[in-house]
Amino acid sequence: MPDSTTSVSTQDRFPSAQDTRHSAQTTLHSTIHSLLPHVQGKKVLFITTKNIDYIRNSQELKLLQEQGADLSVIGDRGRTYLTRLLRVYGRLLFSSLKGFDTIFVGFAPQLIFPFIGGKLEKAFVIQDFFISLYDTFCLDRKRFRPNSLLGRLLHKLDTYTLQKGDLILTDTKAHGDYFHQEFGADAKKLLTLYLEADTRIYYPRQSSRPDYLKDRYVVLYFGSVLPLQGVEIILGAVDLLKDRADLAFVLIGPMSNSTLPQGENIHYLNWLPQEELAVMISYADLCLAGHFHGSIEKARRTIPGKAYIYEAMKKPMVLGDSPANHELFTADQNHYFVPMGDAQALADAIMHCKQEATEQPRAKLSKQTL
C-alpha cells in the first residue's frame, strides 16, 4: 500500500486547498477586471471555428453576456470541422468588421488571423490561444518533426498569431509561461481563464447503480484517447488490478484495441451523450483525471477537461502530479496525485483511495458506538 507522502500526496511542495481556491478566484477576478473595459457596454464580435456549443465557447460567450457586451457571433454548428471552417471563412469574407469595438477570437485564432489581419483596423483584439498548433502536432501527437518544413511553418503561425492579440487568454498559467518562452508572447498581455464544466449537466447527484456495479468500488475514466492523456498508463494500472473482485472499472471512449486488458471487473463503453455520461460518473467512487503521460510536456501544462467535470460533481479524483494541475487542486481527501508515466503508482493510488473510503465509514461507526 502506498505511503501518503510518496505516490499520492505532494502537500509539502504545494499550497493548501484553501490557498489554491483563493488563488484560482483571484486569477478569475483579475482576468475579468482586465477584460471589462473592452467588453462592458462595447460592441463585441466573437469569432470561432469550433462548434458554438463547445464548452470553451459556451464559457466565453456566457462571460461576455454577463459583462454586458453588445454581442455578435460568427460561428457555425456544422457536423464537421471543415464544414464549420469554410462557413466561417465565407461569413468573414463578406462581413465588414467596422463598427466593432472589440474582436474576440476564440478557438482557433491561428486559422482566423491570416484571413482578417487586414480588416482589424482599430478594434481591440482579444484571443483565446487555447492550443499551440506547433506543440499539438509536433510535440504532442508527433504528426510532423519540429524541424520539418511544416513544423517550422506551424511555429511561425503560432508566433504570428500571438503578436496579433491585445489580450491573450490561456487555459493555465503553465501554458502562458510556455507561450511566452517558446513564441515570444508578451507576458503583460497573457491572462488565465480556467475552463468550467457545464453545471446544468454535471452536478452532484445520487443514482441507483446497475447490478454489475453494485457492492464494488467503482473507478471511472472517460476520454478521447489523445496521447497526452496517458491511456496506456491507465490500462496498465487496470491490468494490474483486473483480478480484484472488489473493484469495477468503467472505461469510456474509443478504446477499440485487441490488446486491451480483459477481466470480469473491466467494462468498456463507447462515447455517451453528455447527459448519460453524467449519470455514469455519478456511479463512481473514484474518477481518473490525468494527465498521466510521462514524457509529453504538454501534459504537464494542461488541466484535463474531465477534472473540471469531476470537480463539479464533487467526485474524488486521481490527477497527474503536474504544475498545471496544482494551479487549481491540492492533495486532500478528494484530490490524489501520482507521478506521471507510472502505472504501478496509479494502481497503488487506486487501492489507497479504496482503503481510505472503506476506513472512513468504519471510523464514523466507531465514534457513534462509543
- Tell me the pLDDT of the chain averaged across its residues: 88
pLDDT in tens, 239-288: 999 999 999 999 999 886 667 999 999 999 998 999 999 999 999 999 99
Stretch(es) of the chain classified as CATH 3.40.50.2000: 39-192, 211-359
Check: CB of residue 286 under 8 Å from CB of residue 268: no
pLDDT in tens, 42-89: 999 999 999 888 889 999 999 999 988 899 999 998 889 999 999 999
Q: Specify the pLDDT at position 361.
A: 58
3-state SS class at 123: coil
Of 54 and 138, the one with more pLDDT: 138
Return d(Cα 337, Cα 11) in angstroms, integer: 10
The CATH code that applies to domain 39-192 is 3.40.50.2000
Q: Specify the pLDDT at position 367.
A: 41
Does position 16 have pLDDT exceeding 80, yes or no?
A: no
Q: Specify the pLDDT at position 364.
A: 47
Q: How many residues does the chain have?
A: 370
Q: Specify the pLDDT at position 105.
A: 95
Check: CB of residue 63 under 8 Å from CB of residue 33: no
Does position 137 have pLDDT exceeding 70, yes or no?
A: yes
Q: Specify the pLDDT at position 21.
A: 58
Check: CB of residue 318 under 8 Å from CB of residue 285: no
Return d(Cα 120, Cα 93) in angstroms, integer: 13
Check: CB of residue 297 under 8 Å from CB of residue 323: no
**3-class DSSP string for 220-288:** EEECCCCHHHCHHHHHHHHHHCCCCCCEEEEEECCCCCCCCCCCCCEEEECCCCHHHHHHHHHHCCEEE
Of 13 and 344, the one with more pLDDT: 344
The CATH code that applies to domain 211-359 is 3.40.50.2000
Q: How do beta strands 286-290 and 217-222 pair?
A: parallel
User: Considering only 87-91, 96-100, 106-110, 192-196, which range has the smallest mean pLDDT?
Assistant: 96-100
Burial-class residue 18 by CB neighbours within 10 Å (0-12, 13-18, 19+).
exposed
Return d(Cα 51, Cα 57) in angstroms, integer: 8
